[in-house]
Structure 1
Amino acid sequence: MYSSEIIGTGMYVPPGVVTNHDLEKLMETSHDWIVQRSGIEERRWVTPEVGTTDLALRACEEAIKNAGIDKKEIDCILFATLSPDHDFPGAACFLQPKLGLTDIPAIDVRQQCSGFIYAMSIADAFIKTGQYKTVLVVGAEVHSKGLDKTTRGRDVAVLFGDGAGAIVMRRTDVKDPKKDSHVWSTHLYTEGAGAKELWLEVPGMALGADRITHDMLEKGLHYPQMNGKKVFANAVRRLCECTMTALKANNLTLDDIDLFLFHQANMRINQMVAQELKIPEEKVFNTIQKFGNTTAATIPIGMAEAVKAGKLKKGSLVASAVFGSGFTWASSVYRW
């Protein structure tokens, strides 16, 4: 069995900054209301001609450059997204030629906010078994084109931003597990009974004769629907649970972790998790205030931002946990 390590990170967010004050012009809301409930101050939204794979491309190019490899060394692409350029084929198939690559597997991972850790887990398994040596893992989203930007949709619309993050994972030999860079473990979970608490109902193949109708559009069913209270409560519980599961699996304590990178859905969720687990504030790195919830992109964006901020350094022991639609959740511990 081999081990995997992260050798390069990259991120890209579109230049268009949308502040809470900008949203006040589109719907009945306020800067204070949004900050109070989510911690978000601004987010990035794309211009009309930009798609999800365009953002992914920029993040991947930066990750490959920072990894110090030739892109031709990549032998697998894993792309986590809930907002692909098209229904089919997968976004990874459109990203591959943009990167100038061909023939290698290009796989979409559809686990919403948990997608990136799921993709990391798959990459880790591929590398450990010797199937692939160098895997490009990317999370990217364009939410802004699919939000109800009226008062009717404000509870969801104010939360989401567009962006992409990527990492390069590579085979490594671990001589000292306590010091050498590698992924220690990943832990994946799903509770499908909660799927309709946060979902996009339309269009769909389970709706009758047509996957979308005028009536569905008039009702706004083509916009995301969320039971905020239920999602919030489940997110706090599951993030706490899977963080502790990852630590126990590796005989670690909370004190052993240098940095916690949690999914960026809501600042209040992360604050409550830190409070429940008694994690010092300085050990939790957040980006939601600047970028909003970029679902599958929040973890790799957080990695790249933490590196730039000097918070994530060679040798750092990191714990990540995510929760999202499905319900899905996951955690991972890795030495940077």
Structure 2
Amino acid sequence: MTRTRSIIRGVGSYLPEKVLTNADLEKIVDTSDEWIQQRVGIKQRYIAAEGQFTSDLAVGAARQALDDAGLTPDDIDLIVVATTTPDYTFPAAATLVQMKLGMHHGMAFDIQAVCSGFVYAVATADSYMKNGLGNRALVIGAETFSRLLDWTDRSTCVLFGDGAGAVVMEKVELGDDEPDRGVLSNALRSDGHHWDKLYVDGGPSSTGTTGHVHMQGPEVFRHAVGKITDVVYAALEQAGYTTDDLDWFVPHQANRRIIDGAGAKLGLPPEKVVITVDRHANTSAASVPLALSAAVADGRIKRGDLVMLEAMGGGFTWGASLIRW
């Protein structure tokens, strides 16, 4: 009997050229490098250039992932872009990525689950392919989150940055004699009762404007560790593993204290936790694939490793994906 799996064929990332350091922020808002590092562990973030859109960042990450996989856009039949900051209200950023890659075939759509978007997108592509709706997918997390920020609000503007990360997923049939690999399980959750703890005060239906990010920081922190560990345990149980089996934990890069707290609650040694929040800040849906790409590029994540992806975002939404590399 064969097993249908969605394996990761390639990974990629893209970051804008402009780096905004904590020292730079000290010049425009009442904050300090010491305060930012102590509270959230961030040293710098990347900011998209004027005229550089979310789809442009997504294409940069997609091309790198395709190169890593040894494939071309002709080999892709599904594009899923996780983003909170699409170029336009519509069409979907994914269709613009499709166009910019020169594709006229397949299907493309966006997923909006804020910071959990990439994990939701992985689970969606996995489900689509296992149900015969594609064989190879580009799954991208991309954000120009800096355009949602109020640069006079020091409680939020220091936290976020721009960037994109991508993976190429491919459906394969594994025989009984082949080692398991690919996406082993997904656990997704949401609870809209917490919407006002992290939101943007604008939208086409409400104000007709984009709005800015608003966050009840202590409340988000209070919920984060418990919800993160909930889905991690659920994904592990579904696949028949425990935290002791994990080689790598790749969490959403929102706050160093949240990451450390979740790792400690899961009983994971710090050396198994991938951290990029110090140099990328919180890039929302792009944070997990950016961290994943960094850990693959530097050789930490290797073939056969058991990798847990996890994220939590506004909504609240939260989720985890367990992958055998």
Of 248, 253, 257, the residue aligned with 1:259 is 248
* Corresponding residue number in structure 2 for 1:52: 54
CA distance in 2, matches of 1:179, 1:335: 10
Instruction: State whether structure 2 residue 50 is matched by structure 1 residue 61.
Output: no
Shift in Å at residue 195 of structure 1? 0.9
CA distance in 1, matches of 2:89, 2:5: 34
Of 204, 225, 228, the residue aligned with 1:239 is 228
Shift in Å at residue 268 of structure 1? 0.6
Shift in Å at residue 202 of structure 1? 1.3
Shift in Å at residue 324 of structure 1? 0.3
* Corresponding residue number in structure 2 for 1:91: 93
* Corresponding residue number in structure 1 for 2:80: 78
* Corresponding residue number in structure 2 for 1:300: 289
- Deviation larger for 175-184 or 110-119: 175-184
CA distance in 2, matches of 1:295, 1:172: 30
Instruction: State whether structure 2 residue 92 is matched by structure 1 residue 103.
Output: no
Change over 3 Å in CA distance of 1:178–1:263 after alignment to 2 = farther
Matched position secondary structure for 1:311:
coil
- Deviation larger for 90-99 or 32-41: 90-99
- Deviation larger for 294-303 or 19-28: 294-303
CA distance in 2, matches of 1:177, 1:196: 50
When normalised by structure 1's length, the TM-score is 0.93
Equivalent residues of 1:174, 1:182 under 8 A apart: no
Matched residue type, 1:40: I
Equivalent residues of 2:142, 2:285 under 8 A apart: yes
Shift in Å at residue 204 of structure 1? 3.9
Shift in Å at residue 87 of structure 1? 1.2
CA distance in 2, matches of 1:107, 1:186: 20
Matched residue type, 2:6: S
- Deviation larger for 86-95 or 13-22: 86-95
* Residues 63-84 of structure 1 deviation map (CA, whole Å, 9 limit, x = unaligned): 0010111220100110000001
* Corresponding residue number in structure 1 for 2:315: 326
Matched position secondary structure for 2:68:
helix
CA distance in 1, matches of 2:14, 2:180: 28
* Corresponding residue number in structure 2 for 1:201: 201
CA distance in 2, matches of 1:177, 1:75: 29
Matched position secondary structure for 1:306:
helix
Shift in Å at residue 103 of structure 1? 3.2
Of 116, 119, 140, the residue aligned with 1:117 is 119
Change over 3 Å in CA distance of 1:80–1:175 after alignment to 2 = same
Matched residue type, 1:159: L
* Corresponding residue number in structure 1 for 2:174: 174
Shift in Å at residue 263 of structure 1? 0.5
CA distance in 1, matches of 2:300, 2:244: 16
* Corresponding residue number in structure 2 for 1:217: none
Matched position secondary structure for 1:132:
coil
Equivalent residues of 1:63, 1:167 under 8 A apart: yes
Equivalent residues of 1:14, 1:55 under 8 A apart: yes
* Corresponding residue number in structure 2 for 1:228: 217
Where in structure 1 do 4 or more consecutive aligned residues deviate above 4 Å? none
Equivalent residues of 1:2, 1:129 under 8 A apart: no
CA distance in 1, matches of 2:158, 2:317: 22
Matched position secondary structure for 2:241:
coil
Unaligned runs of 5+ in 1: 213-220
Shift in Å at residue 246 of structure 1? 1.0
- Deviation larger for 171-180 or 265-274: 171-180
Shift in Å at residue 176 of structure 1? 5.3
Instruction: State whether structure 2 residue 13 is matched by structure 1 residue 24.
Output: no
CA distance in 2, matches of 1:255, 1:55: 36
Cα RMSD, aligned residues only: 1.4
Of 262, 272, 282, the residue aligned with 1:283 is 272
* Residues 230-286 of structure 1 deviation map (CA, whole Å, 9 limit, x = unaligned): 111111110011111111111211110100000111111000111112210000001
Equivalent residues of 2:200, 2:213 under 8 A apart: yes
Instruction: State whether structure 2 residue 248 is matched by structure 1 residue 248.
Output: no
CA distance in 2, matches of 1:74, 1:291: 28
Matched position secondary structure for 1:26:
coil
* Residues 91-125 of structure 1 deviation map (CA, whole Å, 9 limit, x = unaligned): 11211110111132111001110000101011101
Shift in Å at residue 321 of structure 1? 1.2
Of 147, 158, 164, the residue aligned with 1:145 is 147
* Corresponding residue number in structure 2 for 1:161: 161
* Residues 121-147 of structure 1 deviation map (CA, whole Å, 9 limit, x = unaligned): 111011111221001100100012221
- Deviation larger for 170-179 or 133-142: 170-179
